[in-house]
Amino acid sequence: MADRFRITLCQMNPTVGDLAGNAALARQAWAAGKAAGADLVALPEMFITGYNAQDLVMKHAFQLDVMTHIDALAADCADGPALAIGAPWAEGTQLFNAYLILKGGKIASRSLKHNLPNETVFDEVRIFDSGPLGGPYSVGNTRIGSPICEDAWHPEVAETLQETGAEFLLVPNGSPYYRGKMDTRMNMMVARVVETGLPLIYLNMVGGQDDQVFDGASFALNPGGKLAVQMPAFDEAITHVDLTRTPEGWRVAQQPLASFPSDHEADYRVMVQGLRDYMSKTGFKKVLLGLSGGIDSAIVATIAADAIGPQNVRCVMLPSEYTSQASLDDAEAVANALGCRYDYVPIKEGRQAITNTLAPLFEGMKPDLTEENIQSRLRGLLLMALSNKFGEMLLTTGNKSEVAVGYATIYGDMSGGYNPIKDMYKTRVFETCRWRNANHRDWMMGPAGTMIPETIITKPPTAELREDQKDSDSLPDYPDLDAMLEILVDLNGSIQDCVAAGFDRATAKKVEHLIYISEYKRFQSAPGPRLTKGAFWLDRRYPIVNRWRDPS
CATH 3.60.110.10 occupies which residues in the chain?
4-260
Q: Which residue(s) pair with 343 in the sheet?
A: 316
142 CB-near residues (< 8 Å, 6+ apart)? 2, 5, 39, 167, 250
Lowest mean pLDDT among 62-71, 164-173, 463-472: 463-472
- Name which of 33, 104, 46, 105 is nearest 71 in CA terms: 105
Distance CA 55, CA 125 (A): 11
User: In this prediction, what percent of the chain has a pLDDT beyond 70?
Assistant: 99
- Note the pLDDT of residue 471: 73
Q: Which residues have a catalytic role annotated? A: 45, 113, 149
Between CA 5 and CA 7, with CA 6 as vertex, the angle to 5 degrees is: 125
- Note the pLDDT of residue 1: 58
CATH superfamily of the 264-464 domain? HUPs (3.40.50.620)
Plot region of 214 (φ>0 → left; ψ -120 to 50 → alpha; else → beta):
beta
Contact 172, 99 (CB under 8 A): yes
User: pLDDT band at 148, cuts 50/70/90?
Assistant: very high
Q: Which residue(s) pair with 271 in the sheet?
A: none
pLDDT at 240 over 90: yes
CATH 3.40.50.620 occupies which residues in the chain?
264-464
Q: What is the pLDDT of residues 294-350, one digit of tens each?
A: 999 999 999 999 999 999 999 999 999 888 999 999 999 999 999 999 999 999 999
Measured from the Cβ of residue 324, the count of other Cβ atoms closer than 10 Å reads: 14
Contact 358, 371 (CB under 8 A): no
Per-residue HEC secondary structure of 222-238 comes to ECCCEEEEECCECCCEE
- Note the pLDDT of residue 140: 93
370 CB-near residues (< 8 Å, 6+ apart)? 362
Average pLDDT, the chain: 95
Contact 463, 323 (CB under 8 A): no
- Name which of 301, 375, 294 is nearest 329 in CA terms: 294
Contact 492, 529 (CB under 8 A): no
Mean per-residue pLDDT, 189-194 = 97
Contact 105, 74 (CB under 8 A): yes
Helix (H) or strand (E) holding 444: none
Cα→Cα distances 362→127, 358, 365, 374, Å = 52, 6, 6, 13
pLDDT at 112 over 80: yes
User: pLDDT band at 538, cuts 50/70/90?
Assistant: confident
User: pLDDT band at 473, cuts 50/70/90?
Assistant: confident
Give the 3-state secondary structure of residue 140.
coil
**Alpha helices (runs of H) in 59-113, residue ranges in sequence order:** 60-76
Is the domain covering 4-260 a CATH 3.60.110.10 domain? yes
Distance CA 470, CA 472 (A): 5
Mean per-residue pLDDT, 39-46 = 98
Q: Write the single-letter amino acid at 79.
A: D
pLDDT at 35 over 90: yes
Beta strand segments in 159-285, E:
168-173, 200-204, 206-209, 212-215, 219-222, 226-230, 237-246, 249-252
Q: Which residue(s) pair with 523 in the sheet?
A: none
Distance CA 137, CA 164 (A): 10
